[in-house]
Amino acid sequence: YVNDENRMDIIKILITGPDSTSYSNGCFIFYLYFPNQYPTTPPSICL
């Protein structure tokens, strides 16, 4: 989701681990950054 309506170039992503794996009950947060040159330049991800 968009965390800040003033920064539409940053999207916060939350992925939860699948059941019955070592990642279950885990929450993993990523930030997807869209550069000013998007779509010519690809977005980047920060873990």
Asked whether residue 34 is assigned to any structural domain, the reply reads yes
Name the pTM for this structure.
0.69
**Has residue 18 been placed in a domain?**
yes
In a domain, 14, yes or no: yes
* Domain annotation covers residue 2: no
- Could you tell me whether strands 10-16 and 44-46 are parallel, antiparallel, or unpaired per DSSP bridges? unpaired
Number of domains in the chain: 1
Secondary structure, 3-state, the chain: CCCCCCCCCEEEEEEECCCCCCCCCCEEEEEEECCCCCCCCCCEEEC
Residue with more model confidence, 34 or 3: 34
Q: Which domain holds residue 30?
A: 10-46
Residue 1 forms part of a structural domain: no
Neighbours of 11 (CB within 10 A): 16
Q: What is the pLDDT of residues 19-38, one digit of tens each?
A: 999 999 999 999 999 999 99
